Amino acid sequence: MPYELPPLPYDYAALEPTIDEQTMRIHHDKHHQAYVDNVNKALDGTEWDGKPIEQVLDNLDLIPEDKRMVVRNNGGGHANHSLFWEIMKPGGGGSPSGALASAIDDAFGGVDDLKAAINDAGVKRFGSGWTWLLWDGTGLEVRSTPNQDSPLMDGHVPLLGIDVWEHAYYLKYQNRRPDYLAAWWDVVNWDEVGRRFDAR
Ligand code: MN3
């Protein structure tokens, strides 16, 4: 079974004014669809066809060499965007709760410090990529990745990731990536991030 583009769990305009409708339409319907189509084409007819994307990304070194970079970029893109839509919601924001909140306090000193670290990593990412909160097997960590690289490629569990490709923000924020990152927290879905933490 090839991968499929997951439907957005809310309307395209639902994240306004933080993320504009046109950006969401192009980002979901065009960019994410292209990642899905390209990784499907690359894996078609291989033993990896139909395997969970997490398993594929954790075993990139086993993918045939002539397909490996295509799978890395587009399989990563599929996994990253599938997470991204889920960890946002209309009327989001606020603070995490439960075990995640305690773990954030212990690791970073509080959610404001965590946000500052994630935004800083996102601003410093040169070119295109993502800024993450991940579980590395023993603790929480903030890290950025280039292109569509995923923490899954290092065997880590991505909990929250913000897309800092220009296609994610340029129509509304132009070159002002720091403004996009600052505003993004108004749509964070902490319930979903907490669910991923509990399931890590
Ligand atoms: Mn994107």
What CATH number should be reported for the domain holding residue 47?
A: 1.10.287.990
Residue 164 clears pLDDT 80, i.e. is over it: yes
- The answer to whether the beta carbons of residues 135 and 160 sit under 8 Å apart is no
Residue 30 clears pLDDT 80, i.e. is over it: yes
Give 80 Cα–ligand 1 centroid separation in angstroms.
8
What number of residues does the chain have? 200
* Strand-by-strand arrangement of the 129-135 sheet: 140-146, 129-135, 157-163
Instruction: Write out the residue range of the structural domain in which residue 151 sits.
Output: 98-199
* Residue whose C-alpha is closest to residue 130's, from 177, 86, 163, 81: 163
On whether both 115 and 168 belong to a single domain, the answer is yes
> Please, what's the b/e burial string for 116-149 (b: 16 or more CB within 10 A of its CB; e: otherwise)?
ebbbebbeebeeebbbbbbbeeeebbbbbbebbb
Q: What is the mean pLDDT of residues 176-180?
A: 98
On whether both 29 and 57 belong to a single domain, the answer is yes
Give 147 Cα–ligand 1 centroid separation in angstroms.
9
Residue listed under structure tokens 């583009």? 5
Q: Is residue 43 part of a domain?
A: yes
Distance of CA 10 to the CA centre of its chain: 17
On whether both 135 and 183 belong to a single domain, the answer is yes
Residue 48 clears pLDDT 80, i.e. is over it: yes
On whether both 67 and 130 belong to a single domain, the answer is no
Q: Is residue 91 part of a domain?
A: no
Q: How confident is the model at residue 1 (pLDDT cuts 50, 70, 90)?
A: confident
pLDDT (0 to 100) of residue 72: 98
On whether both 109 and 42 belong to a single domain, the answer is no
Q: Is residue 16 part of a domain?
A: no
Cα separation, 98 vs 191, in Å, equals: 10
Residue listed under structure tokens 């799978």? 71
pLDDT (0 to 100) of residue 85: 98
Give 171 Cα–ligand 1 centroid separation in angstroms.
13
Give 14 Cα–ligand 1 centroid separation in angstroms.
17
Total domain count for the chain?
Answer: 2
Q: Is residue 107 part of a domain?
A: yes
Give 78 Cα–ligand 1 centroid separation in angstroms.
9
Q: Is residue 175 part of a domain?
A: yes
Considering 33, 52, 86, which residue would you say is the last residue of a domain? 86
Q: Is residue 111 part of a domain?
A: yes
Q: Is residue 6 part of a domain?
A: no
pTM above 0.85, yes or no: yes
Considering 32, 64, 86, which residue would you say is the last residue of a domain? 86
Task: Determine how many CB atoms are found less than 10 A away from the CB of residue 52.
Answer: 11
pLDDT (0 to 100) of residue 53: 97
Cα separation, 27 vs 132, in Å, equals: 19
Give 70 Cα–ligand 1 centroid separation in angstroms.
16
